Amino acid sequence: MTECLFCKIAQGALPAHVLHQDDHVMAFLDLHPIREGHALVIPRAHHVWFEDMPADLAARVTHCAQGIARAMKALYPVDRVSMFFTGIHVPHAHAHVVPMHHVHDVTSTAYLADGAEGFSVPPRLEDGRMAQVAADLARAMRP
């Protein structure tokens, strides 16, 4: 992918503050961090969506993110590090690894009903609906 920003970084055509690189994955600092240390882990091969990555490659991304998380806990005064895939801004699968200094460092508006300093529990789905959602997803996961 000649126009993909992350492919260009993986090929060395664009600079990055690299934390790790091997034949399969690369990790570097996010240019627009949620918190200092916010890192991205990408597969070197171009995959638009994380669910399209081969399972062994997704495991390599996760393994790299785990190492970064342990380093973050050693460097920053945090008990928790978040890892999530979004793919919103760059169409190349990537995991965000963020040291969480505050409960809302990586959150959804569903948790903000009590304001920025609170942490609301979203409404619980009714048990029958939960059972139906679980059954639908399990059925959709079958080959």
pTM for the whole structure: 0.82
* pLDDT, tens digit (0-9, with 9 covering 90-100), for 63-113: 999 999 999 999 999 999 999 998 778 999 999 999 988 876 776 666 567
Active-site residues, by number, are 94
* pLDDT, tens digit (0-9, with 9 covering 90-100), for 15-54: 999 999 999 999 999 998 888 899 999 999 999 999 999 9
Cα 23 to Cα 21: distance, rounded to the nearest angstrom: 7
Amino acid at residue number 60: R
